[in-house]
Structure 1
Amino acid sequence: MADAQRAAEPNPTDSDAPDPADLRTADQLGLQLVRFLRLSNHAKQHFTSKAKHAIERSNYALLATLVHTGPLRANALAEAIHSDPSTVSRQVGALVGQGLVERQTDPDDGRACVLVPTEEGVRAFRANHDRRTRQIARMLAEWSEDDRRTLVHLLTRLNTEIEKFQGEDR
C-alpha cells in the first residue's frame, strides 16, 4: 500500500515544470501580448470612432461568426466564440437593437429561435472587415511576405494551443 501511495505522488525529477529559459521566453511573450492587447484596443477605439458602421469588437466576433456560419442558436454561438451564454445574450440584444441581427424561428424546432444577420448586419460586417484588413495591410506593408506568413502561422498555432489548453484541467 505504501509503495502504491509513493508511486502516485509527484516526483520532482519527472515534473513537467518548464525549463528556466522557457519561463524567461514565456515571460517576454506575456509582456508582448499585454502590450499587443493594449495597443490593439487603443487602435480599435481610434478607428471605430471614425467608422460609419462601427461595431464594438465583442459584438463584431458574434456578427462575424453568424455571417460565416449562418444561423445559430444563442448557446451554439456562445460556444463558437468561447464566451459565456449570458454575455452573448446581452451582446445579441445590442445587435438586434441595432438592426444587425434578427431572431428567427428555428426550422428544426419551432419552439426555439436562431440568430441570423440582417442585410444591414452583413453590410456592416463587410465594411468593418474590409477596413480592418486594409489597416493590417498598411501596418505590415514594410514586412516581407515571408514575415507576414510566418506571423499568420505562429498566431494560428498560438490560438490553437490556447484552445487546447483551455480544454484541459489545469
Structure 2
Amino acid sequence: MAPNSSAAARPRAELDLADSLGHELVRFIRLINKAKSQVSKQGPDGIERAAYAILFTLIHEGPQRTSRLADSLHAEISTISRQSSSLVQHGLVERQADPEDGRACLLAPTAEGLRVFEENRKQRNQWLAEVLEDWSEEDRQNLNRLFGRLNTGIEKHSPQLADAQAPTAAPAKGATA
C-alpha cells in the first residue's frame, strides 16, 4: 500500500471514514483467520488445508508448473512440491506432460479434485448464507456489489496486487473459490 502524495490534501472526514473502514477490514481479516483456524489443519482426507490453495489455483488458472504455482501463491517451491505430491497421492491433482517442454510437467485438477473443490465451495457458501441470513436481500446484494467495487479499486490503485485471472464482472456460477 504505497502512500499517495495527495493524501494530505484529503478532507478530514474522508480520512476519518477511511480510518474506520481500515479498522473494520482488520477486524474482518482477523475473524476470517480465526474461522479458518477453527477448521482443523488437515481435512478429513488427511490433506493439509493449505494444499487446497493449489487445487483452487489450478481450477481457476488451469494446469501449470510447480514454479508458477509457487510464484502465484507466494510460497517456496519445496512447499508447493510437498503439498502437490499429497494432492496427487489423493487423486485430486495429476501430473501432465508440458506441451511446451516435454521434460517438464504441469499439475492439473482431476475430476475428483473438481468434486472436492465444489464440496468445499458449497460448505463455504452455506456458512456465508448463515452469517447473512438475517440481512435483507438488498443488503446482501449491496455487500456483494460493494465488495467487488472495493476489490476493483484496490487492483486499480495497486496493479501488482491484481490477480491476472480475476474476473472483471461477477464470476459465472461454479467458477468461484
- Scaled by the length of structure 1, the TM-score of the pair is 0.72
SS in 2 for 1:71: coil
Residue by residue, what CA displacement relative to the aligned partner does 1:27-70 show, whole Å, maximum 9, x if unpaired? 111111111111111112224469535752x5433322312343
Identity of aligned residues (%): 44
- Relative to structure 1, is the Cα distance of residues 97 and 61 closer, same or farther in structure 2, using a 3 angstrom cutoff? closer
Relative to its length, the structure with more helix (as a share) is 1
1:136 aligns with 2:125: no
1:16 aligns with 2:1: no
Q: Is the 8 A contact 2:95 2:106 kept in 1?
A: yes
RMSD, matched Cα: 2.7
Residue by residue, what CA displacement relative to the aligned partner does 1:92-151 show, whole Å, maximum 9, x if unpaired? 531322433333211232133212123442232122111101111111111111111111
Distance in 2 separating the partners of 1:77 and 1:95: 10
Q: How does 1:19-168 map to 2 (within 5 A)?
A: 19-48=11-40, 52=44, 56=49, 58-77=50-69, 81=72, 83-84=73-74, 86-87=75-76, 90-99=79-88, 100-167=92-159
Q: Is the 8 A contact 1:71 1:115 kept in 2?
A: yes
**Unmatched runs of 5 consecutive residues or more in structure 1:** 1-14
Distance in 2 separating the partners of 1:141 and 1:50: 29
Q: Is the 8 A contact 2:95 2:105 kept in 1?
A: yes
Larger radius of gyration: 1
- Relative to structure 1, is the Cα distance of residues 111 and 50 closer, same or farther in structure 2, using a 3 angstrom cutoff? closer
> Which residue identity does 1:148 align to in structure 2?
R
Distance in 2 separating the partners of 1:75 and 1:23: 41
SS in 2 for 1:113: strand
**Unmatched runs of 5 consecutive residues or more in structure 2:** 161-177
Q: Is the 8 A contact 2:95 2:108 kept in 1?
A: yes
Deviation at 1:89, TM superposition (A): 5.5
- Relative to structure 1, is the Cα distance of residues 25 and 55 closer, same or farther in structure 2, using a 3 angstrom cutoff? farther
> Which residue identity does 2:55 align to in structure 1?
L
- Scaled by the length of structure 2, the TM-score of the pair is 0.69
- Relative to structure 1, is the Cα distance of residues 166 and 95 closer, same or farther in structure 2, using a 3 angstrom cutoff? same
Deviation at 1:90, TM superposition (A): 1.8
